[in-house]
């Protein structure tokens, strides 16, 4: 028998274990639900693969768009399109996880948007920056529908490309920020602009602790280890994609969107980094509108 199949090379509990033969066993976020028509909201969803070369896929969500105008004529609405990145510490969960699927059904129904929930590549099989590369490839795929001749009819027929939004939860918030940075500066070659960026409990870090992080250095050390596992090429966790306010990081004035919403939770370890990000963006020469909201008495991703 090959003992390597049973010997653990390393683990990061409670998320996963990696065996010496390279097999990865995820211990959380493995449940899934199929795409469907949600009986509570009427939202339709389906799965597709956008980037076959890297097997990057997504779950698309579409509300009931058929309406009748004052003359009794049936019309099809054009709605904002949200490019969404799920959380899970980069390591676990997917667009088909029950928590994220149910959340997107409710969000799409309430906001009346078309959503593209991305399954980006995950560490340790694919360390960062793979997820950032996947986010960029997916945004370019969405933009390819701007002239109504792309490969996905839901976007051709129903997406308003003057209202493209990017957002994500926790690690997905980190990805969303980095995507907006890649889209900035007028050098991206994209045919669409990002109207709004929503960062929900975004995951940022750095070598030096900020504010209340210094009150729990054991937790700080655990987070240092986490980031070194998911992004081993990040020097001391100060790559600007991990720490947007690190010394020498590109200015946040280059953020490629017009509006930013930052949502934080009072009992969340990432809270202080979110405030630092908000304050740094406000001090930069970025000319967009920024809003922040902190929920009292709640922890990381409580709403999920």
What is the tens place of the pLDDT at every residue in 244-287? 999 999 999 999 999 999 999 999 999 999 999 999 999 999 99
pLDDT reported for residue 214: 85
Question: In the chain, which residues fall in CATH 3.40.50.1820?
Answer: 31-295
Distance, in Å, from the CA atom of 301 to the CA atom of 99, rounded to the nearest integer, reads 11
Q: What's the average model confidence in pLDDT over 128-147?
A: 97
Looking at every residue in the chain, the average pLDDT score rounds to 93
Q: Does pLDDT of 71 surpass 90?
A: no
pLDDT of residue 69: 54
Cα within 13 Å of Cα(230), Cβ side: 27
pLDDT (average), residues 90-111: 97
Q: What is the pLDDT of residues 211-253, one digit of tens each?
A: 988 888 898 899 999 999 999 999 889 999 999 999 999 999 9
Q: What is the mean pLDDT of residues 161-181?
A: 98
Is the pLDDT confidence value at 174 over 90? yes
> Contact 43/37 with Cβ under 8 angstroms?
yes
266-292 residues labelled b (16+ CB within 10 A) or e (exposed): eebbbbbbbbbbbeebeeeebeeebeb
Sheet strand arrangement including 16-19: 8-12, 16-19, 24-26
Unique residue bearing structure tokens 């008495």: 297
Is residue 38 within 8 Å of 30, Cβ to Cβ?
A: no
**What is the CATH class of 31-295?**
alpha beta
Which residues are known to be catalytic?
170, 268, 300
């Amino acid at each position: 028998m090959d003992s390597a199949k049973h010997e653990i090379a390393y683990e990061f509990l409670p998320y996963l274990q990696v065996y010496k033969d390279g097999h990865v066993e995820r211990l959380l976020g493995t449940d899934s639900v199929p795409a469907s028509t949600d009986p509570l909201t009427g939202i339709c969803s389906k799965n597709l693969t956008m980037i076959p070369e890297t097997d990057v896929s997504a779950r698309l969500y579409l509300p009931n768009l058929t309406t009748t105008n004052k003359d009794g004529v049936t019309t099809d609405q054009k709605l904002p399109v949200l490019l969404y990145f799920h959380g899970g510490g980069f390591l676990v969960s997917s667009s088909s996880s029950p928590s994220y699927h149910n959340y997107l059904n409710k969000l799409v129904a309430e906001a009346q948007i078309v959503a593209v929930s991305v399954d980006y590549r995950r560490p340790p099989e694919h360390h960062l920056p793979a997820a950032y590369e996947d986010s960029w490839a997916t945004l370019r795929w969405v933009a390819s529908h701007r002239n109504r001749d792309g490969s996905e009819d839901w976007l051709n027929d129903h997406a308003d490309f003057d209202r493209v939004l990017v957002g994500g939860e926790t690690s997905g918030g980190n990805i969303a920020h980095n995507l907006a940075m890649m889209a900035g500066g007028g050098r991206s070659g994209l045919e669409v602009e990002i109207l709004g960026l929503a960062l929900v409990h975004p995951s940022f870090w750095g070598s030096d602790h900020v504010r209340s992080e210094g009150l729990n250095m054991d937790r700080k050390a655990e987070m240092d280890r986490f980031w070194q596992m998911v992004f081993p090429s990040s020097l001391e966790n100060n790559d600007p994609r991990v720490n947007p306010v690190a010394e020498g990081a590109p200015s946040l004035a280059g953020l490629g969107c017009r509006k930013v919403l930052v949502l934080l939770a009072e009992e969340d370890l990432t809270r202080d980094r979110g405030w630092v990000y908000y304050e740094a963006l406000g001090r930069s020469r970025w000319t967009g509108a920024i809003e922040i909201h902190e929920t009292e008495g709640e922890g990381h991703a409580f709403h999920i």
